Amino acid sequence: MDGSKNPSQKECLRAHSIFTSAADGDFAVPALEQPQLVPAQPALSESALAQSEQDQLGAADSLHQRRSSIAPAPWTWLRQVHGGRVVVVEQPGEFAGAEADAAVTAASDAVLCVQTADCAGVLFAGFSEQEKPTRSEESCVVAVGAAHAGWRGVAAGVLQSTVEAMIALGAQSVVWELGPCISPAAYEFGEIELAALVDRYGESLRGRTDSGAPALDLRAAVRAALSETPAVYRGAQRIPCTATDPGFFSWRARQDSGRQTSAIWMTANSTLETTDVQW
């Protein structure tokens, strides 16, 4: 039969991911898409109200264009609350705007994303084999995940829960990478909260700012949390600091309203021979 496949060939999914910078634009979700977060406003004149609505529509349209330029598929974004909830996305765009801090999926063309401006965006890919292969032909990506990891989320176990959810979707092995986030040099932290985190995850979390104040090493916190899981790090060795690098949005350093995004999704490929898994 014409077009028949070699029995050794398998359908496979390819993982794609991106960590944006300020140069890629603002990925903060406008108030128009999350009206529950809009504070009460004094009465506006008809013209002022019309202008406000126009501004919000413009922001939403700009965000849609930025997302589409990366992946022209439905995006699942989350109303992040620094907690431990993970949602399982079964179809593209499902759970958009849900109150959660992580999402996982086994569906192709479902873009998962988190927004950050100092917290860590953590992306995951799950494979069909026990060990992540060195050659993409040897394994399929079967699930992906995205997590928003601030210190409260790390304390709540959001990262461990994300890996557990991916394994439940069929991943035999999981790899992860870490996006730009604040470094201890710029992350002064309260002694009480720091002591609680150190007690939970170890002394590697304890740092100092450039001025010598107690600091949290958020990257070490992420690594410590994920060391409790089977997930293996496969990301960059150097992680930019959002607070000290002006190429990124930072709430703590500059009170920026803009946000980076960390996004991941899967697309179908016809055979393993042509798959180029970047993880």
- Dump the DSSP string for 257-276: ---EEEEEEEEEES-GGG--
Q: What DSSP element (H or E) covers 166?
A: helix 158-168
Helices of type H across 18-124: 46-70
| Higher per-residue confidence, 43 vs 181 | 181
* 21 pLDDT more than 90: yes
Q: What is the pTM of this model?
A: 0.85
Q: What is the pLDDT of residue 30?
A: 80
User: What are the pLDDT digits (tens) for 77-126?
Assistant: 999 999 999 999 999 999 999 999 999 999 999 999 999 999 999 999 99
Q: What is the pLDDT of residue 75?
A: 98
Q: What is the pLDDT of residue 33?
A: 55
Q: What is the pLDDT of residue 53?
A: 58
Contacts of 275 (CB under 8 A, 6+ apart): 12, 14, 136, 137, 140, 269
Q: What is the pLDDT of residue 140?
A: 87
The least confident of 2-11, 30-39, 119-128, 270-279 is 270-279
User: What are the pLDDT digits (tens) for 56-76?
Assistant: 556 788 899 999 999 999 999
Q: Write the CATH number of the domain with boundaries 74-273.
A: 3.60.140.10
The least confident of 57-61, 213-217, 219-223 is 57-61
Name the DSSP letter for residue 165. H
